[in-house]
Amino acid sequence: MAMKLSNDIPNIAVGRLPLYLRALTHLKEQDRNIVSSRELGKRLGIGSAQIRKDLCYFGGFGKQGTGYHIDFLIEQLKEVLQVDKEWQVAVIGAGNLGSAISRYEGFVNRGFRISWVFDNQPDCIGQEFGEITVLSMDELEAVLCQNHVQIVMIAVPVDQAQAVADRAVVCGICAIINYAPISLEVPDDIIVEYIDPIVHLQHMAYYLQNEKEVQ
Amino acid sequence: MAMKLSNDIPNIAVGRLPLYLRALTHLKEQDRNIVSSRELGKRLGIGSAQIRKDLCYFGGFGKQGTGYHIDFLIEQLKEVLQVDKEWQVAVIGAGNLGSAISRYEGFVNRGFRISWVFDNQPDCIGQEFGEITVLSMDELEAVLCQNHVQIVMIAVPVDQAQAVADRAVVCGICAIINYAPISLEVPDDIIVEYIDPIVHLQHMAYYLQNEKEVQ
DNA sequence: AACTGTGAAGTTTTTCACAGCC
DNA sequence: GGCTGTGAAAAACTTCACAGTT
């Protein structure tokens, strides 16, 4: 992601807000009303000062002596992140991964809705995932353009990912979540984030003790 | 992840090595032999100095005036990351997501193999994903312990994730990839990494222009 | 008494810039 | 001429510490 476009709030701080939001939602589900930066930090493995500072960039939503009202903070963070509305998302690729994403029900109450899924395999097209039907890749441009789709998730085989991204970019999309294990080349104003479990696994492996060395 | 255990190499630099490895693999597939830090950086959207510095922590694998031999660098990075061997991984949860992970064929040539999958749904247990069979959750402890499994991927519903993590930790696992949208509480010596697409989406949404404001 | 908001201090990470090498 | 390896400078980020508020 080539981000730091914004005025002056560190991208890395913005990146933590979704984690705060996620944790706050769980607290709310446990019928909690108030939380301190210390408790929130402990749950997330983050220092309390960092949380206060991050929230402070956006005005500070807490009460001295008390902490943060969970409902209020959730509401404010959703507004800051622009997820108080519902973004329409297109998924490209309806294989194992694309279909798992499309069937996942967790998007909606966090600000997103998968509204379209595309694939180029004839046996896939027409399949129903919950409320949506798999469309042909031939319809990609028409659907993305006509609906002013801003976010796409790419879940196609790695050798098709760049071509698919190029097609989406031409349609005016602004942001891509790429599940294919390849760095995409896109114009500077397009936001790209990557989800590649193997990157995480390889990162972790560095810190693991090799069994043989242990013995 | 509570990482900085290591001697003195920044965790964040280690985290970039898998990206370098991934990009190098693509270059190799295009029959390239040599690459400069500048070209590699351009592909990844990273400064060339950063790449040189990262590689330098591990000794510096380049040749002045020339660049980096791709084959050699791949080999060295795999060794550094300990992915020149094959780690056995267990997936917990065989729903949409768990089965997509388990069927994915991209793990093997990047240092990992999904060797076991568990679920608690009777209609799931016994299903075959490629070469592996879905096992009952009742067998979790026995399998993890007997095989000294070090890495598990959690792909169960959010309300079961913590309990599943607890069970895995007792079995002596060292690292968790958690796909459930919740922060896990685990002992300090367990490495946890999170994969939650909605965290990425929410992060991106912050930088998107709201349609209404554009007009 | 408990907790936030926030400048200032401290630390980490990135970038610069150039000597040394091919 | 082109490129790496690497100290030193710059920038970014985190933590401290405390005034101020409830």
pLDDT digits (tens, 9 = 90+) for B119-132: 999 999 999 999 99
In tens digits, what is the pLDDT along chain B, a chain of 215 residues? 444 444 689 999 999 999 999 999 999 999 999 999 999 999 999 999 999 999 999 998 999 999 999 999 999 999 999 999 999 999 999 999 999 999 999 999 999 999 999 999 999 999 999 999 999 999 999 999 999 999 999 999 999 999 999 999 999 999 999 999 999 999 999 999 999 999 999 999 999 987 654 43
Calculate how close chain B gets to A91, using CA atoms only, in Å.
12
- Distance CA(A185)–CA(A162), nearest Å, equals 7
Could you tell me the two tokens for A120? 């180029």
Task: Provide, rounded to the nearest whole percent, the portion of chain B with pLDDT above 70.
Answer: 94
H-helix segments, A2-139:
11-29, 37-44, 48-56, 70-80, 96-103
H-helix segments, B64-131:
70-80, 96-103
- Distance CA(B1)–CA(B136), nearest Å, equals 29
- Distance CA(A115)–CA(B200), nearest Å, equals 18
- Distance CA(B26)–CA(A131), nearest Å, equals 37
Which chain A residues contact residue B157 at CB under 8 A? Answer: none
Q: Does A7 touch chain B (CB under 8 A)?
A: no
Mutate to test the interface with B, among A202, A209, A211, A213 (most CBs of B within 10 A): A202
Q: Does A43 touch chain B (CB under 8 A)?
A: yes
Calculate how close chain A gets to B138, using CA atoms only, in Å.
25
Mutate to test the interface with B, among A200, A212, A213 (most CBs of B within 10 A): A200
Burial degree of B199 (CB within 10 A; 0-12, 13-18, 19+):
buried
Q: State the Cα angle at B196 between A171 and A40, rounded to 5°.
A: 130
C-beta atoms surrounding A209 within 10 Å: 10
In this structure, the dihedral spanned by the alpha carbons of residues A188, A192, A197 and A198, taken in order and rounded to 10 degrees, is -20
Q: Does B88 touch chain A (CB under 8 A)?
A: no
Instruction: Give the DSSP per-residue string, A72-103.
Output: HHHHHHHHHTT-SS-EEEEEE--SHHHHHHHH
- The number of C-alpha atoms within 13 Å of A179 and in the hemisphere containing its C-beta is 25
Chain B segment 127-156 residues within 8 A of A by beta carbon are 148, 150-151, 153
Q: For strand D, which nucleotides have at least one atom less than 7 Å from a protein CB?
A: 1-7, 12-17, 19-22
- Distance CA(B31)–CA(B161), nearest Å, equals 43
Flag whether pLDDT at A1 surpasses 60: no
Spanning CA of B41 to C1' of D7, the rounded length in angstroms is 22
Looking up tokens 């395999």 gives A121
- Distance CA(A157)–CA(A140), nearest Å, equals 17
Q: Each residue of A65-117: pLDDT tens digit? A: 999 999 999 999 999 999 999 999 999 999 999 999 999 999 999 999 999 99
Q: Does B79 touch chain A (CB under 8 A)?
A: no
Contact A83, A111 (CB under 8 A): yes
